[in-house]
Amino acid sequence: MHSNGISTDTYALCGSITASSSLRNVEFGKQIHSHVAKSGWISSVFVGSALIDLYAKSSLIADAAVMFDEIPLKNSVCANALLSGFCEAKLWIEGLELVRKMPGLNLDYDHFTLSAMLRACTGLSAIDLGRQVHGYLIRKVYNLADDVFLQSSLVEMYGKCGLVMKALQVFNFAGMRWGGEKRRDVVLWTSMLGVYGRNGHFEEGILLFEEMLKEGIEPDEVAFVTVISACGHTGQIQLGLEYFDCMSRVYKLIPGPEHCSCVVDLLCRAGEVERAVKVVNEMLGEGRNKCSVSLWVALLSACSDGGNVELGEYAAKRALELDPQNVGVYVQLSNLYARLEMWDEIGQLRDTMKQRGLKKDSGLSWIQVTS
DNA sequence: GTAGGGTTAG
């Protein structure tokens, strides 16, 4: 269109930018950006928001922030686009700072803002602020029960802070108002399922999954990861395998590496290492190439827990053949050696990692203590 | 008629 000399307008520009965003083609988006800068449409808040979104989704958060600053007449939409970029990048403090600046810029909080704030609270385990946002929602948002995004953000926030009953209360409230209507979608159900899982309530999680099926909600890939993992924790091998099987048979979903490793983990937890190896081989035989690394890693992880050196080393070798840069494999193998006090082997492993220029990230965690 | 949100195991 442009090369034919036809002038573009903001509608066409927004369309092209969102298209390059969904195709994950940042380069094309950047080209449009420089074109926009010359055309004079750069001050359009519509075009600006689309560009912020493109940069934020391409992990170019600094570029997104610059774009935001350059929009002369800002509105909530462009602020929210940057805000969700911060949350996506786990820059929760930066996100909350932006939220604090919004009133001064004459920007109102809407559902998008509040849902992103809750995500930041979840990331920071900031229960006090999270409660304040919930209070604000109850007071100011009359149609809270209509918004599954806000509901699931609340469920996640309470769950992350360990308040399982509060999460359940929100989840039940979301279902209550609509009686027979299916207002709770699969993501909201999965959020609650995940809260149970992360807090060790695996039995309840499995029951909730069954309840979801009874309500006629179609489970997705994420729901299956969570429920198969829950089965692993309760030792319900048969049930876990049935879920794995019905994923493709009944729901026509293609199991990914994460499902395969859940199944391996489930079998190994139950001490069925032989059977796990058999499953790995079967899966590889079926040509699930994408699964192969994670299958060996899952097997290695299980061997690490059980102190099975021989099989662990074999699994590590196979995993590294496929992905030599995988630091996780070295860490797992090192854990296995440490468990059995095989210090010489750990030394060798460190040397190998150094030679290959690999480094393990150090861990970090924090919580807020409820006052 | 254009732009922005929530779920994944180990």
* Per-residue pLDDT reduced to its tens digit, A330-348: 888 898 888 888 888 888 8
DSSP states of A234-290 as a string?
HT-HHHHHHHHHHHHHTT-PPP-HHHHHHHHHHHHHTT-HHHHHHHHHHHHHTT-GG
| Residue A178 banded pLDDT, cuts 50, 70, 90 | low
Least confident of A55-64, A90-99, A131-140, A325-334: A325-334
Q: Do A56 and A24 form a contact (C-beta atoms < 8 A)?
A: no
Q: Is the pLDDT of residue A363 over 50?
A: no
Q: Residue A191 CA to nucleotide B3 C1', Å?
A: 28
A295 or A158, which is more confident?
A158
| Residue A91 banded pLDDT, cuts 50, 70, 90 | very high
DSSP states of A162-189 as a string?
T-HHHHHHHHHHHHHTTTTS--S-HHHH
Query: Residue A274, Cα to own-chain centre: how many angstroms?
Result: 32
Considering only residues 237-256 of chain A, list those whose CB is below 7 Å from strand B. Answer: none
Of all nucleotides, the one whose C1′ comes closest to residue A220's CA is: B7
The candidate with the shortest Cα–Cα distance to A109, out of A140, A85, A135, is A140
Structure confidence at residue A277 (pLDDT) = 83
| Residue A370 banded pLDDT, cuts 50, 70, 90 | low
d(CA A149, CA A213): 21
Residue A149 approaches strand B within 7 Å at CB: yes
| Residue A239 banded pLDDT, cuts 50, 70, 90 | very high
Structure confidence at residue A360 (pLDDT) = 63
Residue A160 approaches strand B within 7 Å at CB: no
User: Which pLDDT tens digit goes with each residue over A274-293?
Assistant: 888 887 777 776 655 566 77
Q: Residue A51 CA to nucleotide B4 C1', Å?
A: 11
Q: Do A10 and A41 form a contact (C-beta atoms < 8 A)?
A: yes
B4: residue with closest CA to C1': A81
Structure confidence at residue A83 (pLDDT) = 98
A365 or A90, which is more confident?
A90
Q: Do A99 and A129 form a contact (C-beta atoms < 8 A)?
A: no
Q: Is the pLDDT of residue A36 over 70?
A: yes
Q: Residue A214 CA to nucleotide B10 C1', Å?
A: 30
Which whole number is the average pLDDT over A289-315?
Answer: 80
Of all nucleotides, the one whose C1′ comes closest to residue A113's CA is: B5
Percent of chain A predicted with pLDDT > 90: 54
A190-204, A244-258, A313-327 — most confident range: A190-204
> What is the residue-averaged pLDDT of chain A?
88
